[in-house]
Chains A and B, each alone.
Chain A
Amino acid sequence: MREAAKFGLMLLRFLNPIKLREASIAIAIAVVMMLCGARSAEAQDTPLLSGGVAFLTSTPGGNTTYQPLIEPLVALPIGQRLMIESRAVLLESFSPSANGYQHSHFVGLTYLQGDYLATPHLTLVGGSFILPFGTYNERLSPVWINNFQDGPLIVGLGLLSTGTGVGGELRGSAIQTSKYSFDYVGWFSARSGNMQFNSERSFGGRGSLYLPEQRLEIGASYDRSLQGTQENFYGIHAWWEPKDEGFRLRSEYALGQHAQGYWVETDYRTSAFGGLDSWVGRFEPLFRMQQTFRRDTVVSDGVPLVNTQRADFGLDYNLPHNTRILSSYSRQFSSTGDENIWETGIVYRFLFPAWKGKGL
């Protein structure tokens, strides 16, 4: 007994508080997986493991950084109405320094939330969730979805420095007809200094109107930081994807207390030469235009400190088996100096059951 206590003390010294927190999260997820596993093994709601594995290179101003990364996502349905889902990122970064290359690594949870399908029009979300401001953070930030490697210059506007909230969301489809639909999200976040679940005390919401015949979505976002210097952020977005034409246009404008900006992104795939799965149809040319405007030089939002304009020209290639090759060239103009940015990468998206179930 005494030896066991001694071993326990040694273990506690070895595991610092941060590791203990991570271990407790992992144990909690494992317990939930075990609890829901037996029931769901025969159904179509087996827990899934998805995500992306990528190797990315970025060369701004002639210096190349290499970045292998994994973004796993796990979704665990429990019963008919509950689900727990989480996404994490594990990356290693190799960047040039005076003595050759130095490397750093990062491991962190992007979000860990519980979803409860309360009514046909309302879902309750609790935990650490991705802030639904604009469209990029919630929809396009996964490495296996984004057409470009890096996010827009204005991505920090409205994300309150962390991009996640710890609290709750009310969300769902408010109304849906054959002519239009309207969906909404309203959220509140508490202040959290936890390393994995860092967030600011804040609240906000987003509403989107979708016109299915025109394939047009327009929406507006708002959030407000409720701690320190309280600031408001406003955003609007418009997405257009004409039916059966392989063309997509996405755009966002965001306004903060100290800066504002916009981005417009287009991508296109042709099916004119043997369909989307022909070698020509797998090419995907991209273009993104971005501009940011400073209102003052108070650093609070991650937007460049001087007015910046940037054009991104990309060419992706969609290989079979959920693999994509990304490449882009960007030219950035600002008063602190113009810059060329070259980026390449390969991304594999995986999607499979978390374990082998029965039946089906």
Chain B
Amino acid sequence: MKAKHFFPGLLMVAAIGAASLSAPMGHTQAAPPAAAQPHVDQYKSAKKAPMDDEGTRVFAQNCSRCHRTPDGFSPRISGTIVRHMRVRANLSAHDEQVLMKYFNQ
């Protein structure tokens, strides 16, 4: 098979494969996505914060778009992380505040 036929075919197979893999997932939400979990709790007390929908949304839409959720980080640097994300991900001031509240839960 010539390379010029091989690659479009490969792309098509990959697209179909990806679509078939992702389709059933809408019905099998066995666990919340990684982004839905608070991630500063590693250094905090055992207190579990309630989910903050807007914070979860901002995190999933901005931070998780590029990288996986870190396992945990110190609350002492949450403000620095948010400011870094404000610049790198072009967050609005509103989303910056929401993200900060989300980290502080």
Contact = CB atoms under 8 A, between A and B. Distances in A.
Contacts of A163: none
Interface stretch (A8-16, A57-65, A170-178): A170-178
A46 B34 CA distance: 25
Contacts of B3: 309, 333
Nearest to A129: B87
A328 B13 CA distance: 18
Interface string B62-105: 00111110110111111111011011101111110000100010
B70 A245 contact: no
A83 B83 contact: yes
B18 A247 contact: yes
B25 interface: yes
Contact of A44 (B18, B24, B68, B75): B75
A198 interface: no
Interface stretch (A25-33, A89-97, A116-124, A150-158): A116-124
Contacts of B31: 271, 274-277
Contact of B25 (A138, A217, A270, A359): A270
A292 to B, nearest CB: 12
Interface stretch (A101-109, A187-195, A223-231, A346-354): A346-354
B80 A120 contact: no
A77 B79 contact: yes
Interface in B2-60: 3-4, 6-7, 10-11, 14, 18, 21-22, 24-26, 28-34, 57, 60
A318 B68 contact: yes
Centre residue among B4, B22, B77 by max chain A CB count within 10 A: B77
A275 B34 CA distance: 9
Contacts of A88: none
B39 to A, nearest CB: 10
Contacts of A321: 71
A351 B70 contact: yes
A44 B26 CA distance: 37
Contact of A43 (B22, B61, B73, B79): B79
A352 B57 contact: no
A77 B65 contact: no
Given A75-B84, A247-B18, A322-B71, A271 B77 contact: no
Contacts of B77: 44-48, 351-353
Contacts of B7: 289, 291, 309, 311, 333
Contacts of B91: 173
A117 B32 CA distance: 34
Interface string A227-258: 00000000000010111111101000000000
Contact of B87 (A125, A309, A311): A125
A299 interface: no
A219 to B, nearest CB: 11
Given A268-B21, A351-B70, A276 B34 contact: yes
15 contacts: A43-B79, A44-B100, A120-B93, A121-B93, A123-B86, A125-B87, A173-B92, A184-B90, A210-B61, A264-B11, A272-B24, A318-B68, A322-B71, A353-B76, A353-B77
Interface of A: 43-48, 75, 77, 83, 85, 115, 117, 120-121, 123, 125, 138-140, 144-145, 171-173, 176, 181, 183-185, 208, 210, 212, 215, 217, 239, 241-247, 249, 264, 266, 268, 270-277, 287, 289, 291, 309, 311, 318, 320-322, 333, 349, 351-353, 357, 359-360
